[in-house]
Structure 1
Amino acid sequence: MNRLYHYPLSPFSRKVRLTLAEKRIEVELVEERYWEKDPDFLRRNPAGKVPVLKMGNRMLAESGAICEYLEELHPDPPLLPKSPESRYEARRLVAWFDDKFYSEVTSRLMGERVFRKVMGTGYPDSANVKAGARAIKEHLDYMHWLLDQRRWLAGNEMTLADFAAAAHLSCLDYVSDVDWNRSETVKDWYAKIKSRPAFRSILADQVPGFPPPAHYADLDF
């Protein structure tokens, strides 16, 4: 059995979970409190980060590398386009969300509101929360601009870029940090991707001490 060491509110874990589910690869989910630096987990990934995917005798780390590995191993259904230009655009946007969006939004909102409490590292820094709340508006506007020209974020086909964005936004939506009224276009895109069978296990996530809002699992939110 394949095994994924993950944390429910890790967007990087969610991106890999979406990829596995879309490609119908069965996997056992093992929740990992990676910040506790368990020696067994550090042997699986000395970087001490989730996700880590065990496939056969191989331990795979780094979400981007894992997703591309799965794409090469199981090319159907495809999550990267055929042309080099389109593949570049999908990869560019995966990097946008996993680097820029994460540092400006996810790490500030989730990091302060959720992970400080979960990890026991003190009280939220209000300046970070305000900065994240400002930044998410700019990112939603950018997504609106992209989706105004395309069916999906990177083009007319769903790609890993959509899964990367949805992974971050679904984590933030779990704690009601997304203003879906800002853009009907972005909301419609999220409703479309949220309705995919690959999203079902993510919508069932529960984190002790942080109950999701009523709309979180609602496909007609």
Structure 2
Amino acid sequence: MPLALYGHPFSSYTQKVLIALYENALPFAFRCVSPDHPAHTADWLRRWPLRKFPLLLDGNRAVVETSIIIEYLQLRHPGPVRLIPDDPEAALEVRFLDRFFDLHVMDAAQHAVNGAITGNPVKRAEGLALSIEKLDRAYLWAEGHLAGRTWAAGADFSLADCAAAPSLFYADWVHPIPDACPTLRAYRARLLARPAFARAVNEARPFRHLFPLGAPDRD
């Protein structure tokens, strides 16, 4: 039975797993979770009532949480691109950077999105202000960390870059990476040029109207 991924193309965390699947050309069925696909939504909720996607289905085994899904794929469906290094210390750095981009970039940007979704101007302004505060700190740290590096953990594309790509993509929509962070801006551009992420971005283009802050006319 082929792999199946439940999620939505415009979801940053779905894109994170899509990058891993595309990097290794793994065959899978995509099952979109949306009002237009009620059967997929019902099956997803039955398998994971915590209502978070993506969810990977491998036969009868359901795997959730993006970082765990990507590690699972490397264990059970390895390909030529190893997204977690074999060396334990190198792997620890990759896992840390994965957490950094999820928790301090993507989650930081989400405050503005959540505020805009309410439709309340005060909550929208508060959410955006909190996102800006947190993203400015994250951008500055990442700028220093990425100096002299091609990818987040060094020369090799990894789990950390799977997390960084959608995180920085959407965070820059919320609060643009400043000119004072040229290294981070160049890294985001390299991620956008990576074929696996470029594919995920293109597949999500029809849904840009869903971005509650208004998607910019770029990328």
Same fold (TM over 0.5): yes
- Equivalent in 41, 44, 48 of residue 44 of structure 2: 41
Aligned to 1:110: 113
- Equivalent in 50, 53, 67 of residue 56 of structure 2: 53
Aligned to 1:219: none
Residue 10 in 1 paired to residue 11 in 2? yes
Aligned residues: 206
Shift of 1:16: 0.5
Give me the CA root mean square deviation: 2.4
Kindly provide the CA deviation profile for residues 93-133 of structure 1, in whole angstroms up to 9, marking residues without a partner as x: 11122223344x122123233xx2xxxx4435111210101
Partners of 1:180 and 1:186 within 8 A in 2:
no
Shift of 1:23: 1.0
Alpha carbons of structure 1 residues 179 and 150: separation in structure 2 relative to 1, 3 Å: closer
Partners of 1:140 and 1:182 within 8 A in 2:
no
Alpha carbons of structure 1 residues 111 and 9: separation in structure 2 relative to 1, 3 Å: farther
| CA distance, structure 2, for counterparts of residue 77 and residue 128 of structure 1 | 38
Residue 97 in 1 paired to residue 101 in 2? yes
Match for 1:215: what amino acid? Answer: R
Partners of 2:6 and 2:55 within 8 A in 1:
yes
Kindly provide the CA deviation profile for residues 126-157 of structure 1, in whole angstroms up to 9, marking residues without a partner as x: 11210101211211111111111433222232
Kindly provide the CA deviation profile for residues 55-90 of structure 1, in whole angstroms up to 9, marking residues without a partner as x: 333222111110101122214211122321111000
| CA distance, structure 1, for counterparts of residue 115 and residue 162 of structure 2 | 24
Matches within 5 A, 1:1-221: 1-33=2-34, 39-72=42-75, 73-103=77-107, 105-113=108-116, 116=117, 121-123=118-120, 125=123, 126-173=125-172, 175=173, 177-179=175-177, 181-204=179-202, 205=204, 206-207=206-207, 208-210=209-211, 212-216=215-219
Which of 136-145 and 20-29 deviates more? 20-29
| CA distance, structure 2, for counterparts of residue 180 and residue 14 of structure 1 | 24
Alpha carbons of structure 1 residues 18 and 159: separation in structure 2 relative to 1, 3 Å: same
Partners of 2:22 and 2:196 within 8 A in 1:
yes
| CA distance, structure 2, for counterparts of residue 201 and residue 123 of structure 1 | 34
- For the residue of structure 2 that corresponds to 1:49, the secondary structure is coil
Which ranges of structure 2 fall in alignment gaps of 5 or more residues?
Answer: none
| CA distance, structure 2, for counterparts of residue 156 and residue 180 of structure 1 | 25
- For the residue of structure 2 that corresponds to 1:90, the secondary structure is helix
| CA distance, structure 2, for counterparts of residue 81 and residue 45 of structure 1 | 29
Shift of 1:24: 0.7
Partners of 1:22 and 1:77 within 8 A in 2:
yes
| CA distance, structure 2, for counterparts of residue 140 and residue 152 of structure 1 | 15
Shift of 1:179: 2.5
| CA distance, structure 1, for counterparts of residue 28 and residue 178 of structure 2 | 32
Partners of 1:169 and 1:178 within 8 A in 2:
no
Partners of 1:9 and 1:171 within 8 A in 2:
no
Percent of aligned pairs with the same amino acid? 28
Which ranges of structure 1 fall in alignment gaps of 5 or more residues?
Answer: 217-221
| CA distance, structure 2, for counterparts of residue 80 and residue 19 of structure 1 | 11
